[in-house]
Structure 1
Amino acid sequence: MPSVVGILGHLAQQHGHNIKTALLQLFKDSIESDPDSMQIMTVPYLLHLASMSPLLLRVISTEFLTALTPHNLNMLCQQSTYWHSKNKQDINSLLNLLVHLLMKCEDQTFEIIMFLLNSSQQAHISLFLLGDGCQVNPLVQRACTIILSKVLLDLERQILSKHDNEKEIVLLSSLKPHVERLCLKLVESTDTRCKRWLIQILACVGWYNGLACVNHILAFLLLNISTESQLGVFIQLQREIEIRLPAVLLNIMSTLSLLTGKGTTSSADVYKLLRNLTTIVKWENESKTPLTRCQFKECIIKNMATFASFFSDGDLETGIQCLHLLNMIDLPGNLETVTLVTLARSCVATLFSICSTAGDTDEGYKNKQRNTDTLCAYVTKLSESTTAYRYIQRTLLTQLLTKENVPLFGHKQDQASFSSSSKSTPTSLFEELQKTQRESTVAHHHGGIIGQGKRVHTQDDSFTQDDQATNRLCALRVLWATCCRRTDNESAGGASQVIGEHLHHLSNLMVELVTPDACYNEIPWPDEDLMKVTLERDLYIKKQFDTKPILWDIMELISFDHLAIAKSSPLLRGLVAVQVNYWVSCRDKNTTDSPQSEQYLRESNRLLEFMAKGNLLPQPLCFIAEFFRHVSPFKVFLLLTNVWAFIKENPDNLTSETPTLLPGCATNFMALIQNLMHADIDKLGHYYPLFFQKT
C-alpha cells in the first residue's frame, strides 16, 4: 500500500489530471450493477489511499463529490449492506476513516458539508430523482446523518481539548472563508435539525478561529435576518458560542460598522440591522432572566460612539428606527463630547428630514406626528446632558434662521429675490426715459435692477400651508423637548417637568441670533426716548420676526418661564418700540381699518400675551389688549408707552428668578386706563369690572 501511494503521489505531481481521471473512472467502474468482490472493495481501498496521501485526498475531495449522483448513491448503499454483513467492525472503521478524512479536507469543504446536510434531510432526498423516477434510498439519509454527527462530535472534542501548541484543525480553517455562505444557509433553512447542525458548525468555526471570526458571523447574521423566528435562531447561536467565548459581543459594534461601511450595504440593510437590534433589546428588557450572558443593550451603551455612526449616516427611515432603539437604552453618563455632538446633530437632521416629507394627507400627518413623538422622546433623554441640549438648541435655531429652510416653515421670502424669468427679458433704460408723460402725471418708480426690469417676488409652493403649519409644530415640539424632564411615573409620550435653566439658554440664544449685534442687549428697559437711537436695530428685529414667523411661536415657549422671558427683553423691547412708532404715526381712524393695521394689532396683542404669561405685567394692566380693537391708533400708542414705563420702573422684576410684582404695584399706571375708559364709555364701559373690580 505505501508503495502504491508513493507512485501515485509522484505521478500526480506531473500528471495530476490523468491521475484524477483514472481514479474517478475506477470509482465509477466499482459501482456497476453487478460488481464482483474486488470492485465492491474499491471504495474502501480508495479511502485508505486518501488517508495516506494528502495529494490523493485533495483529488478525491474535489472530483468525487460531483460523481455522487442519486444512482451512484444507491449503488454505494447496496455495497454498504455487503460491507456490513461481512464484518460489522469494518463498517464502523470505515465510518471513522471517512470522518478522519473529512477533518483533513482543505478543498471543497463547504460543498461537502452542504452535501451532507442536504442528503440528511428527507425533503432533499425526495428531490434526488433519476430520469426514470428512481428515488435515493432512505439509508443514504441515515448514513449522512451518522457521518455529520460524528464530524461535529469530533470537532467539539478537538476544540475543547486543543492547546496552543497542537496541530491545526484543517476542516475549520478551510471553512472560515465560507462563514457568510453558512450564515445564509442558516437563515434560509426551514428544517429544525439542519438549523441545529449549522449552529454547531458555525460555533465550532467561531471557537477555533477566534473572537474576530465570531463577531463577523454574528454581525453578518444581524444584517441578513428578516424575521423574529430567525432572530430566535441567532440567540441560540449566541448561547452556543458563549459556552467557550463569554465576551462574544466585545467588538460586535466595530464589526457592524465595518460591514456597513464597505459600500456594499444599502440603507435597507442598515434599517434591517437596526430593526433586529431593536427586537433583541426589547426581548432583553422584557425577559425576567437574561437571554444570553452578553446583552446587546450593554454592548450598545459601551460602544455608543460607534453606534452613533448608524444614526448620523442613514436616511429618515433608518434614523427613526435608530431612535426607537436608543429610546430603549439608558443614556450613559460618561459619553464623550464628540459622541454627544454626533447624536445631537443627528437629532436636528432627523427633524428636518421629517419636515421634508409630505404631510398633506391624514396618513402623512400621522406619520409625521409619530416620528416627531419618537424624536422628542429621545431629545428629552439626550437633554439630560448640558452639552447635548445646548447644541440642539443652537443648531436648530441657526437652521431655522437660514434661507435654505424658508419653504419648510412658511417663512416670507426676502423681497430682494428675483425670478429667473425676469433676467431673460431685459428692459432698456434709454427707452424708458424716452417715454413722455403729461406734467400732471405722477412719476412711478419701481424697484428692480437696471437691464432686468421690475423685480418679481418668488414663492416656493412645494409645501402647502398645512405642511408648513405641521412643520412649525414639529420644530416647536423638539425645542420644547430640550427644555423638559420626564418623570419616572409618566408615560413614554409625556415630558411635563420644565427645566428653567434650559429655557433661559434658549432665551439667550434667541437674543444672540436674532439681534444684529450685542449693543443695547441689556435686560432693564431704558427711557422711551432711546427708541429714536435704536430705530434701525428695532426694525431689523421686526423684519426677522416678519420673515420668520416661527420666532413668534418660540417666544411663546419662552414666556412659560418668568426669568426666560425677562432675558429676552431686548427682543420684546425692540418689537414694542416698532409697535409704538407705528401706532403714533398711523392715520387710520380705527385699528382695524387697513390690513397692515390689523397685522400690527395682532402683534401688539401677542406681545402683551407674552408679558402677561411671563409675569412681566400684573393684573389688571395685562388686560389692556382688550381695548386695542375699540380705540384709535393713538390711544394704542398711549397704552403701549404706559406698559413701557411700568416695566422700566420695575427693573427688579426682570432680574429675579420669581416674579416680584406686589398687589397694587400698577395703581399709578391705571389713571390712563381710567381716562380712556371714560372717553369711550360706550365702547369700553363693559370692561370696567375687569380693571376696577373692588376686592
Structure 2
Amino acid sequence: MAAAAMEATASQRAGISSQELLQEMKAFISGIDPVHGHKLTVKDHARCGILLLRNLPPARGAVLEHLRGVFDEYVSGYIMDLNHEGGIGMGGGVGGRSGLDDVTQEIQGVLSEFVHSNPRAWAPLVSAWSIDLMGQLSNKYSGRHQVPHASSLNELLQLWMSCKAMRVLMEIYVQCLSSMISSCPDACVDALLDTSVQHSPHFDWVVAHIGSSFPNTIISRVLSCGLKDFCMHGASSVVDPLFPTLADKRVPKIASVVGILGHLATRHSDSIKQELLLMFHESLGASRDPQQHATVPFLLQLAAMSPMLLSTVSGELIESLKPPVLDQLHQHFAGLSRDDADNLVGLVVHLICQTGPGAYRILQFLVNTAMPASVITTPGLAVRDSVREACHRIIQLLLLNLQKLVYNRPSASLAELQPRAVPFFDELKGRVKDLCVETLRLQRKRHLWQHQLLGLLCVYCGQSCATEALCHLLTLAASPEELALAVQLYGGLAASVPGLLPATLRRCVARLHSSSLPEEQAARLLANLAALVQWEGPEEEVPAPVGARLAQALSCHARDLGQFLPHGHPRVAEAAALLLSTVPLPRALGPAQLAGLARSAVGQFLLALRRGRGAAASDCARLLIRLSCASPAALRSVLQQLVRSAAHPGSAGLFGGWAPGSERAQGPPPSTAGCASGDSLLDTNRKFGTAVNFGGSVWAVFHAGVIGWGLKPASTVTLPGPQEAMHNLYQLLSLVVRCGSGYPLAEPDPGLSRQGPPPINPEAAKAVAVALVEGLCPDVTNSELAWPPEDHARNTVERDLQIRNRFEENPLLFPLLQFVALGRPALCYCSVLLRGLLATLMAHWEASRHSLTTSSPWQLQASCSLVSCMGEGQLLPPVLSNMHEIFHLLTPFEVHLLLLSVWDYMKDNGPLPQKFTFDPEQGQFYRDFSRDGDISKYLNVLHSILHKNIGHLGHLCGRFQV
C-alpha cells in the first residue's frame, strides 16, 4: 500500500514524457550524458537521480543509495577544507566541493516534499536512510586528524553541525520524526537505535542532538523500543548478576538505549526519572502482557549497565516502595523459577553495591523492612512475612558480596588503597556517625547487620574511617552492652588496620580538646575509656591485652587528659579523674607537668568531697597515689598540694571547722570570740559606706550591686554535717597516709588498727611539715629550729595567736601534725608551730580562772594532742610525753606548770634532726634520750603535782617513773 501511494504521488507530479524518463534512467545507470556522450559530473548525476526520484517511484531505492555518495563527496571535501584551513573555526562553515551545496539543498527539498505529502509512507523510509547515512559518515571520518575524539561530544557536535550536508541529513530526520510523533514514532526511533548499535560511539552526537530536540518523545520511545527488543531476545527474566554487561550481546539495542539516556541525563534527568518510575509502576498492574513482566528485569539491566541511571532513579524508587507496592512486587515475581529468582536477587544486590547517592536510604529501607514483625506495628504499614524474608535474604547477600569486594582485592596489603571502588561504601563514608547510632540501638538483628557493615566499611576506607567509627561508638555508648560493640569492632579491625588503637586515641583526645563534643558526651567518652582499661570481657569477645594496650596508649596522653580535671562540668572532671586513676603515668612527665596534674587532682578531690561524691573522691585519691609513686619529687609535690589546699581557710568547713559565710557559723570565728563585735578592720574598710566616694563614677555604680538587680546577694556556704565532716577528714588523712607510706591503692585492712600505723616515709613527712609551716607561717623559714627561752614568746605573740587560731578553725591540722610525728625526725621542721601552740596554751592556762581544765575543752584537747604528738615524734622523752594523760584531772594552773616544764626541756634539748639515728632493722629513725643527760630536773613539778593529788592520781604514779 505504501508503494502504491508513492506511485500515485509520483504520477500526479509527472511533468515529463516517457521517452525523456527512459533517457534519464539510462543516463543515471550508465553515468554518461546521452546528448554529448561525456561522463556526468557528480552534480549532474545527482540531479538525474533526483529527477528519477520525483517521477519514478520504483527507482527510489537505487536513487537513495546513489545519493549517499553525494553526501560522502560533500563530507570528504569538508574534511579536506578543514585540513587546509586549520580547524573548525577557520572557515569550516563554508567547506565542501563546488556546486554540491545546491544539490544537497535540492535533495532536502524533494525528500521534505515527499514526507510532507505522505508522511506515513515516506517518513519511515527517509528517516532510516538519513539516520543510517549520518552513522556511516560519522564512523568513516572519525579517524581523520581534524575530527575530535568521540568523547569530546560538544566539539564533535559543533564540527558536524557546521557541515551543511550533515545538517541537511539531520533536518530531514527531524522532519520525519516530527511528522510521525503524534501517530507512530516507533519506526523512526527503531532506526535511531539500530544505527546507534552499529556506529556508537561516533554516532553519539546525533543522539545527543535529536534527544535535546525531542526529549520526552525520545526518552519514552527509546525505553519502549528497548523493552520490546529485550522481550524479543528472550531476556525477560533470566539476568546473570555476575556478568550484567553480557546482556548487550544478547539484546543488541540495550547498549544503545543506555547510551542515549546517558547523553540526555545531563539536562533531562527529571524526565528520565519520571519515565522510568512510570514504567515501573505500570508494570505492576494486573495485565498479562509479557512486556509488563519483563519491565522490572529490563529496568534492572539498564541500571546495571548505567550507574548514572541507577543514581537517577534509586532515591525516589525506594521512597515509592510502600507496603502495597511491595506486595505487588511479590505477586509479580511469585511465579519465577528458583534460578531466575536467584539471578534477579543477585542483580539487585549488585545494583545496591553500585549505588552511590541514596545508599544510606536504601540500607535503612532494607533493614526496616527485614526487621522481625512487631505487635505495635501500625495497621497498613506492616509487610508480609514473605517480603520480610526476601529483604532479609537481600541483606545477607549484600553483606556477603560487600565482604568479597573488600577482602578479595588484588592489592598486596589490606592497608593499601583498593584499586576498585565500591560506590555503596563511598557514599556511606560520610554517614559513619549515623551507622554508629543505628548500631547502638541494639534492636535484635538490626544492630548485628549494621555492626557487620560498619566493620566492612572501616576495612574498605582504611584507618581514618575506622578511627572515626570507634570514636563515635566510644562517645555514644551508654551501657556495657553498647560499649562491647566498640570492643568487638576493634577486635575485628585490629589485624586489618595497623596502628588503629593509637590513632583512635589521638582522634578522641583531639575531639575532646576541640570543644566539638557536648559536655555529656565528653564525660561519657572519658568514662568509657576508663571502663575499657578495666575491661574483663570473655576472651572470645575481647582480645586479652586490650585493656593493657589501651592503658599504655592512653599514658602518652596523660598530660592532655589532665587538662580536664579542672573542667567546669562535674561529670567531665570526674570522668577524667576516673580515667587517669586507671592509666599508668608516663615517666617522661616533667616536674612542671607533675605539679600541674597534682594541683588539678587535689582541687578535684576536695571539690568531690564538698559535693559529697565519694566515688569521684576515691578516683582522685587513686590518681594522687599514682602520682606520688612516680618519683620522690612527685611525692613531695602531691603532699604539699594536699596540705596547702586542705589547710587553706576556705577548706576548713569541709572538715568540720569554721568557714566565713557558712550557715552553721552563728557568730564570730573562735579566734575572735573575745572581741566585742567580731568584725575585722579589713572587713569594715571593705564596706561600701566607708569606701572613697568617686563622685558617681563607674567604680561606684557596681560596688554594691547592679542597677535593676538590687544589692549583691550575701554569699553563704553550706557546710557538711558532723558525720560527713568526719568522713571527709578520714578520706583526706587516709590519702595522706597512703601517699606517705606507699600503701596499696586498695582500702586498708581493718585489722591493721591492731598492728599499729603503717610506717611513714620520712621524706613524705618532711614534705607535709614544710607545707604546714609555709601555709600557716609563710614568713618563717625552716632554719628556725632551735627552741628559744620562754621570754622570747613575748616577741612572737601575734604570730603565735595566728597559729593557734588556724589550728582552732581547722580540725585537720592536728591530725596532719600527728602524721608528721610518725615520720621521725620530720616533726623538727614544725618547731615554729609547736612553739606557737605551746606558748598560747601556756598563756591560756595561766590566765584561766576556772577550777577545772574541762571548762576549756578545745584548749584541753589541743594541749593533750600537742604533748602526745611531740612524744610520738620523740621530741620529748616517754615520761614527759605521758603527762597529757592526766591533764583532764588537773587545774588550769597545774597544766600551765607542766607545759612550762615541757618548754624548759625543749629549750635545753632543741628539736634538731641531727639527734636522730637510723635503725636499719626497724627501718626508721629513733632518738637516744640517754645522750641528753638526766631528765629528773624536768620532772620535779610533775612529781610535786602527783604528790599533791595522790588521792586520785596515785594509781598513775608508775607511768611517770624514769
The normalised TM-score by structure 2 is 0.61
- Contact 1:516/1:540 (8 A) holds in 2: no
Equivalent residues in 2 for 1:246-395, closer than 5 Å? 246-261=498-513, 263=515, 265-284=517-536, 291=543, 294=546, 295-313=549-567, 315-316=569-570, 319-320=573-574, 322-337=576-591, 339-357=593-611, 368=614, 371-385=616-630, 386-395=632-641
- Contact 1:472/1:550 (8 A) holds in 2: yes
Equivalent residues in 2 for 1:660-675, closer than 5 Å? 660-663=927-930, 665-675=934-944
Q: CA deviation at 1:322?
A: 4.9
* SS, match of residue 250 in structure 1: helix
Cα distance in 2 for partners of 1:257, 1:282 equals 19
CA, structure 1 residues 475+269, in 2 after alignment: closer, same or farther (shift >3 Å)? same
Report the residue type matching 1:677 in the other structure: L
Report the residue type matching 2:802 in the other structure: Y
Q: After superposition, what is the alpha-carbon deviation per residue over 1:20-69, rounded to whole angstroms, capped at 9, x for unaligned?
A: 11211111011112241111111222222223333312112122111222
CA, structure 1 residues 74+139, in 2 after alignment: closer, same or farther (shift >3 Å)? farther
Which of residues 202, 212, 215 in structure 1 aligns to 2:464?
Answer: 212
Q: CA deviation at 1:551?
A: 1.7
Which of residues 405, 420, 423 in structure 1 aligns to 2:651?
Answer: 405
Which of residues 424, 428, 448 in structure 2 aligns to 1:171?
Answer: 424
CA, structure 1 residues 54+201, in 2 after alignment: closer, same or farther (shift >3 Å)? same
Q: Output the aligned Cα RMSD.
A: 3.9
Which of residues 817, 822, 834 in structure 2 aligns to 1:555?
Answer: 817
Cα distance in 1 for partners of 2:463, 2:865 equals 64
**Aligned residue for 2:438?**
185
Identity across the alignment (%): 25
**Aligned residue for 1:245?**
497
**Aligned residue for 1:428?**
none
* SS, match of residue 105 in structure 1: coil
Cα distance in 2 for partners of 1:606, 1:81 equals 94
Cα distance in 1 for partners of 2:306, 2:573 equals 57
Cα distance in 2 for partners of 1:287, 1:4 equals 56
Report the residue type matching 1:670 in the other structure: L
Cα distance in 1 for partners of 2:875, 2:801 equals 23
- Contact 2:738/2:744 (8 A) holds in 1: no
Cα distance in 2 for partners of 1:335, 1:446 equals 48
Q: After superposition, what is the alpha-carbon deviation per residue over 1:283-315, rounded to whole angstroms, capped at 9, x for unaligned?
A: 359869971675323322333334434544375
Q: Is 1:484 aligned with 2:734? A: no
Q: After superposition, what is the alpha-carbon deviation per residue over 1:446-484, rounded to whole angstroms, capped at 9, x for unaligned?
A: 978599999xx9985644344333333333333333212
- Contact 2:467/2:507 (8 A) holds in 1: yes
Which of residues 807, 826, 844 in structure 2 aligns to 1:582?
Answer: 844
Q: After superposition, what is the alpha-carbon deviation per residue over 1:572-591, rounded to whole angstroms, capped at 9, x for unaligned?
A: 0121122233344x152635
Larger radius of gyration: 2
Cα distance in 1 for partners of 2:490, 2:529 equals 14
- Contact 1:180/1:217 (8 A) holds in 2: yes
Q: CA deviation at 1:70?
A: 2.7
Q: Is 1:117 aligned with 2:367? A: yes
Q: CA deviation at 1:516?
A: 4.2
Report the residue type matching 1:333 in the other structure: R
CA, structure 1 residues 404+647, in 2 after alignment: closer, same or farther (shift >3 Å)? closer
Which structure has more relative contact order (CA 8 Å, sep 6+)? It is: 1
Cα distance in 2 for partners of 1:159, 1:303 equals 36
Report the residue type matching 1:688 in the other structure: C
Report the residue type matching 2:814 in the other structure: W
CA, structure 1 residues 687+159, in 2 after alignment: closer, same or farther (shift >3 Å)? same
Structure 1: which 5+ residue stretches go unaligned?
359-366, 420-443
Moved more, 684-693 or 53-62: 684-693
Cα distance in 2 for partners of 1:640, 1:576 equals 7
Cα distance in 2 for partners of 1:131, 1:202 equals 28
Cα distance in 1 for partners of 2:284, 2:364 equals 23
Cα distance in 2 for partners of 1:349, 1:589 equals 43
Report the residue type matching 1:380 in the other structure: I
Cα distance in 2 for partners of 1:487, 1:399 equals 24
Q: After superposition, what is the alpha-carbon deviation per residue over 1:530-552, rounded to whole angstroms, capped at 9, x for unaligned?
A: 22332332222223223333222
**Aligned residue for 1:507?**
769
Q: Is 1:527 aligned with 2:773? A: no
- Contact 2:359/2:424 (8 A) holds in 1: yes
CA, structure 1 residues 167+631, in 2 after alignment: closer, same or farther (shift >3 Å)? closer
CA, structure 1 residues 108+131, in 2 after alignment: closer, same or farther (shift >3 Å)? closer
Cα distance in 2 for partners of 1:14, 1:113 equals 29
Report the residue type matching 1:178 in the other structure: R
* SS, match of residue 927 in structure 2: coil
**Aligned residue for 1:153?**
403
Report the residue type matching 1:534 in the other structure: T
* SS, match of residue 168 in structure 1: coil
Moved more, 122-131 or 296-305: 122-131
Q: Is 1:610 aligned with 2:869? A: yes
- Contact 1:653/1:659 (8 A) holds in 2: no
Q: CA deviation at 1:389?
A: 3.1
Q: CA deviation at 1:568?
A: 0.9
Report the residue type matching 1:384 in the other structure: C
Q: After superposition, what is the alpha-carbon deviation per residue over 1:500-519, rounded to whole angstroms, capped at 9, x for unaligned?
A: 21111110111122114126
Equivalent residues in 2 for 1:15-34, closer than 5 Å? 15-34=268-287
Q: Is 1:689 aligned with 2:958? A: yes
- Contact 2:765/2:823 (8 A) holds in 1: yes
Cα distance in 1 for partners of 2:381, 2:793 equals 101
Which of residues 897, 905, 917 in structure 2 aligns to 1:646?
Answer: 905
* SS, match of residue 617 in structure 1: coil
Cα distance in 1 for partners of 2:749, 2:288 equals 77
- Contact 1:524/1:654 (8 A) holds in 2: no
Q: Is 1:659 aligned with 2:926? A: yes
Q: After superposition, what is the alpha-carbon deviation per residue over 1:300-355, rounded to whole angstroms, capped at 9, x for unaligned?
A: 23333344345443755555555555454444433344553454233212322222
Cα distance in 2 for partners of 1:68, 1:458 equals 65
- Contact 2:552/2:584 (8 A) holds in 1: no
- Contact 2:759/2:822 (8 A) holds in 1: no
Q: CA deviation at 1:250?
A: 1.4
Moved more, 97-106 or 56-65: 97-106
Q: CA deviation at 1:110?
A: 0.7
Q: After superposition, what is the alpha-carbon deviation per residue over 1:366-412, rounded to whole angstroms, capped at 9, x for unaligned?
A: x63x5544443443232112344333333333333444435433333
Cα distance in 2 for partners of 1:489, 1:226 equals 27
Cα distance in 2 for partners of 1:200, 1:333 equals 40
Which of residues 484, 490, 493 in structure 2 aligns to 1:232?
Answer: 484
Moved more, 20-29 or 515-524: 515-524
- Contact 1:62/1:108 (8 A) holds in 2: yes
Cα distance in 1 for partners of 2:320, 2:881 equals 96
Structure 2: which 5+ residue stretches go unaligned?
1-253, 666-675, 691-713, 918-924
Cα distance in 2 for partners of 1:110, 1:282 equals 35
Cα distance in 2 for partners of 1:301, 1:628 equals 54
Q: Is 1:49 aligned with 2:302? A: yes
Q: CA deviation at 1:270?
A: 3.9
- Contact 2:761/2:823 (8 A) holds in 1: no
CA, structure 1 residues 292+373, in 2 after alignment: closer, same or farther (shift >3 Å)? closer
**Aligned residue for 1:474?**
731
Report the residue type matching 1:98 in the other structure: V
Report the residue type matching 2:956 in the other structure: Y
**Aligned residue for 1:62?**
315
Report the residue type matching 2:543 in the other structure: L
Q: CA deviation at 1:143?
A: 4.6
**Aligned residue for 2:391?**
141
Cα distance in 2 for partners of 1:132, 1:672 equals 100
Cα distance in 1 for partners of 2:788, 2:392 equals 97
- Contact 2:511/2:517 (8 A) holds in 1: yes
**Aligned residue for 2:694?**
none
